[in-house]
Amino acid sequence: MHGVVPKSLWQRYNPADEKNMCNWAMRCLLIDTGERRILIDNGMGDKQDERFFGFYYLNGDDSLQKSLERAGYGLDDITDNWLTHLHFDHCGGGIQWNKDRTGYEPVFRNAKYHTHKKQWDWAIHPNAREKASFLQENLLPMEESGHLNFIEEGSELHPDLSFELVYGHTEAMMIPKIKVGDKTVLFMADLCASVAHLRIAWVMGYDIRPLDTMIERKRILTEAADHDYILFFEHDAQNECCTVKHTEKGVAVDETFALSEVL
């Protein structure tokens, strides 16, 4: 998650256990427009086999369904599932085994699953570097069920929801930009996985084009500091949101907080 950054530096932000594993969140965001319930990403899901979960350890009592229910929603209330990209920890929670475990079906029966066509093509024909992150059982059922939809530049699900495309982490990852009154929330996905990744050069080993990630981060974080955007972190287990500011060393974290504290 921290690429070539020495452990002596990153462990101050994401302490590792005796197996050198760090704890991370898979935090999604629900947008209720009144007419639509738009869920951004959906986590990892739980349908994979024992071997898979021997590498990735789900822990704690939280789940997407429980979180939705605590907010007063059910799975069938979701009308749109916006997928920033199709790595398994961002889209695996949208597909489940059917009742007889003979095949797969959408978790959100009433929702369209939205992704970018470039990212879809990239994921369906994966390169050797990312093949382990693009699991076909997470992808093909979206298409086979008729729930798949492609979002292109200039299209929108809602007038207050737009996106920027970035290419450093994977091909055509979408960074949602949500207008809420006079505030703007950026859903950071894997452009900045945590507060620690606000450092331009702290690039993840997963990124296919790390130099592009650095350029994209600098551009987007500069815009965020200029306009006082709220950054929403998908993977930071300790920090849900932050604002950023300009400093002599570049853009840096200003304040951290929960989204509910400001919206």
CB atoms within 10 A of CB 159: 8
Per-residue confidence (pLDDT) for residue 54, from 0 to 100 = 84
Domain of residue 69 covers: 7-261
Q: Of all residues in the chain, what percent carry a pLDDT higher than 70?
A: 100
Half-sphere exposure of 173 (CA within 13 A, CB side): 25
Question: Does 2 reside within a domain?
Answer: no
Per-residue confidence (pLDDT) for residue 153, from 0 to 100 = 80
d(CA 171, CA 207): 10
Backbone region of residue 146 per phi and psi (left: phi > 0; alpha: psi in -120 to 50; beta: other values): left
Residue 82: phi and psi, rounded to 5, are: -85, 120
Structure tokens at 150: 């492609």
83-141 per-position pLDDT tens digit: 999 999 999 999 999 999 999 999 999 999 999 999 999 999 999 999 999 999 999 99
CATH number of the domain enclosing 17: 3.60.15.10
Question: Does 130 reside within a domain?
Answer: yes
Question: Does 1 reside within a domain?
Answer: no
Overall domain count for the chain = 1
d(CA 194, CA 95): 26
Question: Does 230 reside within a domain?
Answer: yes
